[in-house]
Amino acid sequence: MYDTTVYDTLRHKMRELAQEHDLLSTQVVITTAILTPEQAIGQPERQDFPLLKGKEKMVEADLGGSRGQAFTNWPGTFQGSLTEILALPLADNHERALFVSALNALARHTEKVGNTRHCRNEGPKLCGQKIVAYIQEHYGKPKLGMVGLQPALLAACAPAFPLRVLDLDPENIGQKKEGTLIEDGMVAAQDVAQWADLLFVTGSTLVNNTIGDWLNLDKPVVFFGNTIAGAAEFLGLKRFCPYSD
C-alpha cells in the first residue's frame, strides 16, 4: 500500500492546479513515452549509471509541449486526460511513474518548476563536482547517508565525508564502490537514518513508495534528481538538481 498522506496530498495539489488552469475540463492529452538511454541522459563520461545499464527506464509525460520525467523499474505508456491520471490507484511502480511524470509535466506547464528533465552529457559529472561544495556550504562536514546509488555523486562524496550508501538493486548490494559498501535499502534504512547527520535521497523514492521513510526526520534531508521536481515544490522539500533541464 502506498503512503496515502504523501500521494493524497500530491493528488489534491495536482487537481487544484489543473482546475485553476482549466486543464481538467479541456481534457489535455498526456503521452508518456519510454526514452532510450541516450535520449534520457545523452553521452556522459561515466558509463555506470542505472539508465545506461538498463536497470531503470525514464518515462516522459508531454502535456501541451511541457515535459516531465520519472525514473522507474516498471515503465509503460499512457495516453489520456489529467482526470484519468488522477484516478489511477497508484498501487504499483508503474502507476506511480505515470502519475509522477504527469505531475512534473503539469508543474512545468504551469510554471511552478522549470527543471523537470534529466541532465545530459556533462551534466552528471558537473553535478558530482558541485555536490561537495553544496554540502560543505550548507552542512559543514556531516556524516552523509546517501539513499540510491548515483555514481557521480558517490565518487565525489566518498573522499569528502563519512558516508553510507543504500540501494535496492541486488547487483549493487554488498558490493564496494569508491571504497564504500553498498547496503540493502530494505534492511539498513532505519540504521542509516539514525547514523547520518544529513540524508541525500533519490527522488525515485517517490515512485518506489519508500519516500515515507525519509520524511519528518529530526535531521536535514535533501532529495536529488528530476523525478521529484514537482513533488518537492508542492511538499516543501529541499532538492538538489543543479543541471536538470
| H or E, element range at 240 | strand 238-240
Residue 115, pLDDT score? 79
**Cα distance between residue 234 and residue 49, in whole Å:** 28
Query: Which regions in the chain score pLDDT beneath 50?
Result: 1-2, 27-29, 31, 33, 40-41, 44-54
Residues 155 and 45 sit within 8 Å (Cβ to Cβ): no
Write down the pLDDT at residue 17: 96
Edge to edge, the sheet with strand 163-167 lists 176-177, 180-184, 163-167, 144-147, 198-202, 221-224, 238-240
Q: Where are the domains of the chain?
A: 4-109, 123-240
The one-character DSSP state at 35 is P
User: What kind of fold does domain 123-240 have according to CATH?
Assistant: Rossmann fold (3.40.50)
| 7-63: pLDDT as tens digits | 999 999 999 999 999 998 654 445 454 555 555 445 544 344 343 334 567 888 989
Q: Is the distance from CB of 150 to CB of 172 less than 8 angstroms?
A: no
What is the pLDDT at residue 57? 78
Looking up cell 553510507, which residue turns up?
164
- List phi, psi (to 5°) of 68: -135, 150
Give the whole-angstrom CA distance, residue 194 versus residue 203.
20
DSSP secondary structure letters along 103-146: HHHHHHHTTS-S--S---TTHHHHHHHHHHHHHHHHH-S--EEE
